[in-house]
Structures are given as structure tokens and as C-alpha cells.
Amino acid sequence: MENSNEVTIEQLKKQLDVLQKKVGKLEKNRKDQLSMAVVSGDFDKILATMIISLAAAAMDTQVKLFFSFWSLSALRDPKKSPKGKDFISKMFGMMLPKGKDKLSLSNMNMVGMGPMMIKMLMKKKNVLSLEEMFKQAGELGIEITVCEMSMDLMGFKKEEFIDYPHLRFAGAATFVADAGESAIQLFV
Amino acid sequence: MTNEELKNLKSNLVVDARGTACPGPLLAAKKAIGDIESGEIMEILSADEGTKNDIPRWCDKVGHEYLGFVDEDSFSRLFLIKE
């Protein structure tokens, strides 16, 4: 009797081992991390991105933002003008908003009146400005990855982006890898 | 905790976040929490209604003990004990 009992414990231990390994793998796969693919370059969507990111970072969730396509405009530094661009890149550079202060609203833009009114209201209601939000994001260690492919496509240069402490340049696989291990994934 | 108990509570640190809207008070709380020791009481002043829901969620997630809030005329006082 005793003998058969021991075998059961042995088996249980083995099963426990297997389970522990599986749980460990799951935990490793889904970190307390937020991954956002930010494609829109609208003022309101960048604002939402930053508010959600800051709230997540304040709650000790690791935040990784992947900026691609239109959103790259938000990362441009209006004070920087890189040299050596070809004609089409220059055209793109001129037509796209130069920095987060120049973004349009996705709704009620009214040739720039909308963003002006929203910024006025944000100030009145004590909402942090985008500039301040990016500053806080940097302090909280929020990572921003610039999509190299969209950067090339639109003719942007690394030198024209803002001085952000956790800025890196990578491709779609980086987002997929980050998103794969994140408990929360969002697309903006 | 009852309203009366909360009102008489002595906080170790008062964080005045009345000048910022969401997520300002949460950010202020997160920054200030490092300035007190475990078991000490922090009080957050917020004029943002959403904070009353956000701070308890933050406490839940991070492990601090949320005690409750007291409404004043134009703001609220939220209390918590650091983990």
C-alpha cells in the first residue's frame, strides 16, 4: 500500500514540474506590459496614446510605443532641419506637420481652428500639454520605437526627431515581438 | 473607514494634485509614493472626478491599501497606506 502511495506522489511531483514550467512560460510570454502600434498622426489620437501610456506607466506597467506612418509627424522636432534630402522627401517634409504642436484633429479640425480651441480648453481644464506628456513619458521610461520603413518611405531622417531619452529605430518584427509578450496591445 | 475617521486621519504626506486633470493626479501620486515609508499614509488632493476611481485601481494593482476619500467643496481628499 505504502509503496503505491509513494509512486503517486512521485507522479504528482512530475506533473507539478510540468505545470510549473508551463506557468513560467506563460508568465514570461505575457508580461505586465502595454504595446501600442501608433499609426495615426491626429492630435486627438496622439493625445489618447500619451494619456493611456502615462496612466499605464504610473501603474508600473512597462510601456512600448511603436510609431509608424502618420504618427511620425508627432515625433519631428520643429527646430531641426536635416540636410541632404531629395526633392520628394523635401516635399513630404513640407506637407506633413512639423511636430506635435502642428497636428490636426481627426474631427472638427476646421482649418486649424479646432486644435487651437482644444489646446485652449486643455489649458483651462489643467490637462497636460502634449509637450509636457512626452517629457513625463521620458521620465517614466516609456519606450518609443520609430518604424524605420515608414521613416524611409516618408523621407524623414533620424536627425529630425525629438530628443527623447528612450527613442529607438526598428522594424515591424520588433513591434510583433514586443506585442507578443505584452498583456495589453492596442492599435491607434 | 468612515468619513469621520478619514477626516481625522493624520497623513504623513499630502500631495496636492488639484492643478492637473487625468492622468495628472495619478502621476503625482506615483512620483510622491517614493517619498514615504511602507505603512505610512499618503493623502492626494484632486479636483479631477475620475481620480476617485483611478487611485483605488492603482492601489489594487500596485499593492497599496486604499482607505477612501472625503469630498471637500471643489476637490476630494483620497487616502492610502503605502505597501
The pLDDT of A153-160, averaged and rounded, is 93
For residue B8, the number of C-alpha atoms closer than 13 Å in the C-beta half-sphere is 5
Kindly give, in sequence order, each residue whose CB lies less than 8 Å from that of residue A157, ignoring residues fewer than 6 positions away.
A82, A84, A85, A151
pLDDT > 90 fraction of chain A, expressed in percent and rounded: 80
Arithmetic mean of pLDDT over chain A: 92
Which residue of chain B has the CA closest to A32? B61
Report the distance separating Cα B83 and Cα B81, nearest Å: 6
CATH code of the domain in which A70 resides: 3.40.1260.10
Residue A121 sits in which domain range? 31-187
Question: Does A122 reside within a domain?
Answer: yes
Checking if the pLDDT of A147 tops 70, the result is: yes
How confident is the model over B31-65, as pLDDT tens digits?
999 999 999 999 999 999 999 999 999 999 999 99
Q: Is residue A87 part of a domain?
A: yes
ipTM of the complex: 0.84
Number of folded domains in chain A?
1
Q: Has residue A128 been placed in a domain?
A: yes
Instruction: Provide, as residue numbers in chain B, all residues whose Cβ is less than 8 Å from the Cβ of A140.
Output: 27
CB contact under 8 A, B30 and A58: yes
Structural domain for B18, as ranges: 3-81
Please judge whether B24 and A59 are an interchain contact, meaning their C-beta atoms are less than 8 angstroms apart.
Answer: no
In a domain, A3, yes or no: no
Q: Is the pLDDT of residue A63 over 80?
A: yes
Q: What is the CATH number of the domain that holds B65?
A: 3.30.110.40
pLDDT tier at A4, thresholds 50, 70, 90: low
Separation of alpha carbons A77 and B59, rounded Å: 37
Residue A6 lies in a domain: no
Spell out which residues of chain B touch residue A183, defining contact as CB-CB under 8 Å: none
Task: Count how many Cα atoms sit within 13 Å of the Cα of residue A129 in the half-sphere of its side chain.
Answer: 12
pLDDT in tens, A120-136: 999 999 999 999 999 99
What's the total number of domains in chain B?
Answer: 1
Q: What is the pLDDT of residue A2?
A: 53
